[in-house]
Chains A and B, each alone.
Chain A
Amino acid sequence: MYKFNYQRPNSVEDALALYKTSDDPKFVAGGMTLLPTMKLRLAQPSDLIDLSCVADLSGITETDDTITIGAGVLHADVAASKEVDRRIPALSNLAESIGDPQVRNRGTIGGSIANNDPAADYPAGVLGLNATVVTDRREIMADDFFTDMFETALLPDEVVVSVRFPVPKRAAYVKFPNPASRYAIVGVMVAECDSGIRVAVTGAGPCVYRFTEMEEALNKEFSPQVTGEIACEPDGLNEDIHASAEYRAHLVGVMVRRAVAAAN
């Protein structure tokens, strides 16, 4: 790793103030993406501003129709949360499926969505469940948050404070994991929300996306049979040593069908 300065503020205000006075700072949460990148010298921030002691980013709260997860909540704590499991079991399952126990003991939901890895799980959860990302200065709907590969609507100095999930009528997350890393080769969140069915796909394309033709079909009839009638085209899908675009397209159909069956 290159040299850097390290700061651990206790409030969002202090974090933002430190950001302003540093040369080329970066926030760090669990460090499970940022530290490996820095170890490989692919990132070289002048200052790391550690958000793990910022109290406003912690905790899980619920209301009658929402669950709000602090940006700093660990994957392991989302997976173990009784509230999340009771209200949105699809989200507990998603958190439980991330990486391995040691990654889940450090990685956070805020870090995952700010990073927006094309194969990460939470982006599908946030987009599929129609969640709202709450930052230090505004609220961003999931539909506007994930803009491109490793790109989000966040400004460089913007801190994710929490993610608010409306409780769906039903939902399921199913993924075909890369057997080595557990990142999604294809992962699909299917949810029935107030606005209708939402289908969010991660791993398949350069950025998480909604599969709108499938949503329309499922809005008419919510059954696994219907999913087979909608074609998944390989155009524009990812292609790498793990899977061709054609294979990913096929997996999208299979994962949607399984998710619908699991949610039904």
Chain B
Amino acid sequence: MRMKVQLSVNGRNIEGEFEPRTLLVDLLRDELRLTGTHVGCDTSQCGACVVHVNGRSVKSCTILVAQTQGSQVQTIEGLADGEKLHPLQAAFKEEHGLQCGFCTPGMIMSSVDLLNRNPDPSEKEIRDWLEGNLCRCTGYHNIVKAVQTAAKNMRN
């Protein structure tokens, strides 16, 4: 059984026939070649695969394409405005919020969702929010700083 699904990814209309077991992350990476979304685990715990579906951050490794019928999906590739980085991307660069960079797309997509809801989060709120995003390199400190810097820049 294949099924027809229509969705939008970074503003682009996608229509196709998919096997029901196709995960959103497989569509993004394998078919659309949007390889900024990473896969770091097979237990839904690492957050490297976080994208937005209808404005909410979700783990794209734990949602079927079929479940996104009619949705608006945004990935890390949809964040910058041409050459101009999104304030969170710029702040991760500025504050050295990454080392190997594997976790970074998920960290940023998760943080965008946080700042959309809470433009001025406390350090604790940032750490709590990033509970589902694991980083094996940075020790999180500069990631938290990057989110604080981005929040400040976005408020000004």
Contact = CB atoms under 8 A, between A and B. Distances in A.
Interface string A97-119: 00111110110000000000000
Interface string A1-20: 11111101000000000000
Interface stretch (B29-37, B52-60, B86-94, B97-105): B52-60
Interface in A73-123: 76, 99-103, 105-106
A255 B63 CA distance: 34
**Chain B interface main SS type:** mixed
A101 B59 CA distance: 10
Interface stretch (B64-72, B76-84, B137-145): B64-72
Contact of B20 (A5, A101, A182): A5
Taking residues whose C-beta sits less than 8 angstroms from the other chain, chain A's interface range is: 20 to 34
Given A105-B57, A106-B58, A106-B62, A32 B44 contact: yes
B21 interface: yes
Given A35-B64, A103-B132, A4 B69 contact: no
A35 B58 contact: no
Contacts of B113: 101
B64 A101 contact: no
Contacts of B57: 101-102, 105
- Pick from A2, A32, A36, A101 the residue with the most CB of B within 10 Å: A101
A185 interface: no
A105 B56 contact: yes
Nearest to B60: A102
Interface string B127-151: 0010111000000000000000000
Contacts of B62: 31-32, 35-36, 39, 106
Contacts of A40: 42-43
Contacts of B56: 76, 105
Interface residues of B, number: 29
A48 interface: yes
A21 interface: no
A155 interface: no
A36 B20 contact: no
A84 to B, nearest CB: 17
A6 B42 contact: no
A100 B67 CA distance: 20
A87 to B, nearest CB: 23
Contacts of A5: 1, 20
A31 B63 contact: yes
A3 B64 CA distance: 12
Nearest to A6: B20
Contacts of B3: 6
A6 B45 contact: no
A50 B114 CA distance: 28
Contacts of A3: 19-21
Given A50-B67, A100-B132, A101-B57, 16 more contacts: A4-B21, A5-B20, A6-B3, A6-B20, A8-B67, A8-B69, A31-B62, A32-B62, A35-B62, A39-B42, A102-B57, A102-B59, A103-B44, A105-B56, A105-B58, A106-B62
Interface of B: 1, 3, 19-21, 42-45, 47, 50, 56-59, 61-64, 66-67, 69, 110, 113-114, 129, 131-133
15 contacts: A3-B21, A4-B21, A5-B20, A6-B3, A31-B67, A36-B44, A39-B61, A40-B42, A48-B20, A50-B66, A50-B67, A101-B110, A101-B129, A102-B50, A182-B131
